[in-house]
């Protein structure tokens, strides 16, 4: 079986996997990173979203062989990503402002979709630090390959949390 070296949450990992293995299986089964969730498995819900070089990708349909050389961040890696951006050391208490905003706005209900939602928020705020409500709604609904879906209907809380995180990041 071929081996691939992946950079995940700032650490290099070499994994043995078939070339067409979806990234999510490597994250969860090989690297024990359980924050990334499998929903539809068809790029249609967003639950499995992670960042590759800062852009959201769907880990259920992105194969491991396509990710060599890319910097992957999962929900577990958001504190480290934020600490690096601020030039500070990560501590056990470090949270990305998006994560803190999700807590402050009490967004999650069952929580299943929420790591993908936070990944989408980090991608949005990295490229548009002060999005309007319309831009937030659009980012979560009109960005290919699909809308981010929440069976629990937490959409209002997500908009509020992205606005809160935007303010926090702006300082
Ligand atoms: S599980 Fe990947 S988009 Fe639904
Ligand atoms: S919080 Fe339950 S699916 Fe989104």
pLDDT averaged per 10 residues, the chain (length 171)? 94 96 98 98 98 97 94 98 95 97 98 98 97 98 97 98 97 74
Contact call for residues 22 and 62 (beta carbons, < 8 A): yes
**Which ligand approaches the C-alpha of residue 25 most closely?**
1
- Domain pair 3-76 / 78-170, same fold: no
Task: Say what the pLDDT of residue 69 is.
Answer: 87
Pocket around ligand 1 at a 6 A CB cut-off: 38-41, 43-48, 58, 60
Predicted pLDDT of residue 68: 85
Looking at 3.40.50.2300, 3.30.300.30, 3.10.20.30, 3.30.450.90, the CATH number of the domain 3-76 comes to 3.10.20.30
Pocket test for ligand 1, best of 43, 117, 140, 148 (most atoms within 8 A of CB): 43
Helices 78-86 and 114-127 pack at an angle, to 10 degrees, of 20
- State whether CATH 1.10.150.120 applies to domain 78-170: yes
CA distance 71 to 11: 9
Domain boundaries, the chain: 3-76, 78-170
pTM of structure = 0.97
Residue 57 DSSP SS3: strand
């Amino acid at each position: 079986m071929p081996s691939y070296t992946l950079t995940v949450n700032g650490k290099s990992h070499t994994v043995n996997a078939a070339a067409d293995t979806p990234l999510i299986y490597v994250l969860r089964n090989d690297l024990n990173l359980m924050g990334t969730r499998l929903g539809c498995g068809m790029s249609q819900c967003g639950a499995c979203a992670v960042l590759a070089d800062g852009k959201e990708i769907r880990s259920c349909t992105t194969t491991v062989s396509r990710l060599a050389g890319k910097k992957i961040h999962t929900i577990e890696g958001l504190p480290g990503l934020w600490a690096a951006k601020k030039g500070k050391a990560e501590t056990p208490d470090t949270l990305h402002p998006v994560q803190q905003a999700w807590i402050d706005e009490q967004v999650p209900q069952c929580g299943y979709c929420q790591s993908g939602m936070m990944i989408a928020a980090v991608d949005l705020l990295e490229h548009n630090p002060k999005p309007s409500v319309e831009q937030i709604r659009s980012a979560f609904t009109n960005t290919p390959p699909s809308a981010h879906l929440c069976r629990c209907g937490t959409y209002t809380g997500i908009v509020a949390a992205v606005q809160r995180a935007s303010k926090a990041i702006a300082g």
